[in-house]
Chains A and B, each alone.
Chain A
Amino acid sequence: MSHHYLHFNSVSFTYPDGTKALSEVSFEMHHGERIGLIGANGAGKSTLLQLLAGFLVAQSGSIDLGGLKITPSTIAEVRRTLGFVFQDADDQLFMPTVFEDVAFGPANLGVEEPELTPLVMNTLNRTGIAHLAHRPPYHLSGGQKRAAAIATVLASTPSMLVLDEPANALDPMARRRIIEQLRGFTHSQLIASHDLDLVLDLCHRVVVLHEGKVAAVAPPMTVFKNKELLEHCGLLPPLRMQELPPEGPQLKVVEGHHHEAALHHHTAEK
């Protein structure tokens, strides 16, 4: 077994309609590392994750996971070590209740009843949603759904988590909770996201994709400080790192003669 856990080795993929999604993508990831996968829309993030889960098969190159080469014949084993959290939790929570959904993975792996219920409840406790166990997913809020989706993959005890936009469309509190949760896990994590603040908070390194190619692999700070790189890849630095523009609309003083302030005044009267 190699010293790194996941290894993409010049992987290329072209869709049947001729769209070239990935070309010669190579990077590696260590045990317990959290890697952010960033890039503009269409850069190839989704394709890369789909290849990893074996939903697509690369035309050339190879992907190694824990010393195992991902091929159609090994995919069942690969999926056992991989916890895939989909972008839309509604796609992931297909069973009638949260409990049954979390039990779905382990049950498919052959875990049976005396062990199954404690395993499920334990997982739900870890994600803080044990009280929702018997609720149907359509009664949950966005943040609860996300936590449930994460619980569904944790229950299968994967050694690596793959997350597609884990904080997408969550309110700030729920987003914060998910980030803290992910930080608490010891799993290796590959996190594809447009939320660069989240990536900055969580990831040890980032892989920047641009038009199907790896544009950079580096610690988040290094990448986010490199303005040319970001601009070239169609990205903006995280909000936290953006300098405030010298003359912005941050008017705090309301004064009658300033026309913007007057506008505020006007709307307030309405």
Chain B
Amino acid sequence: MHMSDALISPEVGLSMLAIAGGALALSCRSCSREIRSGENLSQIPLMGVLGAFVFAAQMINFTIPGTGSSGHIAGALLLAVLLGPAAGFIVIASVLLVQALLFADGGLLAYGANLFNMGFIPCFLVYPFLWRPLISPNSSRQRIVTVSLVTGIIAMTAGAFTITVQTVLSGITTLPFFKFLMVIVPIHILIGVGEGLITASVVLFTFSSEGAELFLGPKSKRTGSRRTVVAFAIAAAVLAGMLSWFASSNPDGLEWSVARVESTEEAGQQPAADLLHQKSAELQQSTSLLPDYQLGTPKSTDSTAAGSAISWRTSAAGLIGSALTLTLVLLLAMVLKMRQKRSAVPLARG
């Protein structure tokens, strides 16, 4: 499942974007070095075509045996096995970006979080530390299926766990951490079953048709170890930094529970947003048309959530104001549009 823009806060979104983006930049560097050196020229079409393959494969809903529910492949583990972790990560990053744009799966700001949950974890944690060490060129079919199934489930569950952490840290929804986890994990275990089985079947098939050595040679082992440990360490450090930042400014972020969502505590939340608010409030003070003017009782954007009874007059004023703003901008767009029609200059490129 995709983490959504609707549930993410800018600080979580941007930190995840930084981590995933960094991992992507490093992966691109190591892959393009290999391609440029001429030792891996076939990698470019292979990555492109397999990306298209995974994208198309995701459209197939299949029944997960014994459950009656359906799922589709996410593909990152498979890509890591077939292309190596770095190239696999690049491919899944391209697939997720297109999904974010074409289906609004996730969103622009949540892209980093999604790439971390669905790309980084399977490619840089599950594949090099679990799948690869457990499989050798003469592993039995049974073993490949079992390992793929188990690692598929682990990858999905870990992803579900990080989704929960990201959502709760963002603090847009009030769902408590453990309840959220209880809802989301079982679904992802099921998805993991499908993921694991499909991965196993395609891997087995490929190994038998193309030869396992191609994918399990010493080269793939090398790329699967040291570099990923370093990448992992960096990511862990950034993540830890981020978490501690939150922990200090938002003490109940992780243990958010129903009981705690009370008006008094609420006001102190959303740390970085507060920072932005503070800035914008300053700006507002300095640019305000009516300097002595007071917004609704508990000032700041948290007012509606703040629980204290808010006068409907304030809300009505706000609603009218936002509708007005929206209308004004759209009118402007219409005017631009008319001008564009009138001038009718073909703006075609090239």
Question: Chain B contact residues (Cβ within 8 angstroms of A): what range?
Answer: under 10
Residues of A within 8 A of B45 (CB): 94
Complexed CA–CA distance, A134 and B350 (Å): 7
Q: Is A133 an interface residue (CB 8 A)?
A: yes
Q: Is A224 an interface residue (CB 8 A)?
A: no
Chain B 45-59 interface 0/1 with A at a Cβ cutoff of 8 Å (1 = within)? 100100000000000
Complexed CA–CA distance, A94 and B349 (Å): 21
Most-contacted residue by chain A among B45, B48, B349, B350 (CB, 10 A):
B350
Complexed CA–CA distance, A94 and B46 (Å): 12
B349: shortest Cβ distance to chain A, in Å?
Answer: 6
Complexed CA–CA distance, A167 and B198 (Å): 39
A121: shortest Cβ distance to chain B, in Å?
Answer: 10
Residues of A within 8 A of B48 (CB): 94
Residues of B within 8 A of A133 (CB): 350
A93: shortest Cβ distance to chain B, in Å?
Answer: 12
CB neighbors of B among A82-98 (8 A): 94
Complexed CA–CA distance, A99 and B350 (Å): 10
Chain B 36-73 interface 0/1 with A at a Cβ cutoff of 8 Å (1 = within)? 00000000010010000000000000000000000000
CB neighbors of B among A106-149 (8 A): 133-134
CB neighbors of A among B305-350 (8 A): 349-350
Interface of A is mostly: loop
Complexed CA–CA distance, A133 and B45 (Å): 22
A156: shortest Cβ distance to chain B, in Å?
Answer: 18
CB neighbors of B among A64-104 (8 A): 94, 99
Residues of B within 8 A of A134 (CB): 349-350
Residue of B nearest to A97 (CB): B350
Residues of B within 8 A of A99 (CB): 350
B230: shortest Cβ distance to chain A, in Å?
Answer: 33
B35: shortest Cβ distance to chain A, in Å?
Answer: 14
Residues of A within 8 A of B350 (CB): 99, 133-134
CB neighbors of B among A223-241 (8 A): none
B70: shortest Cβ distance to chain A, in Å?
Answer: 29
Complexed CA–CA distance, A3 and B349 (Å): 49
B204: shortest Cβ distance to chain A, in Å?
Answer: 20
Complexed CA–CA distance, A114 and B135 (Å): 53
A138: shortest Cβ distance to chain B, in Å?
Answer: 11
Residue of A nearest to B48 (CB): A94
Residues of B within 8 A of A94 (CB): 45, 48
CB neighbors of A among B1-51 (8 A): 45, 48
Complexed CA–CA distance, A134 and B45 (Å): 21
Residue of A nearest to B350 (CB): A134
B279: shortest Cβ distance to chain A, in Å?
Answer: 41
Chain A residues within 8 Å of B, Cβ to Cβ: 94, 99, 133-134
Which are the 6 A-B pairs with shortest beta-carbon distances? A134-B350, A134-B349, A133-B350, A94-B45, A99-B350, A94-B48
6 cross-chain CB contacts under 8 A:
A94-B45, A94-B48, A99-B350, A133-B350, A134-B349, A134-B350
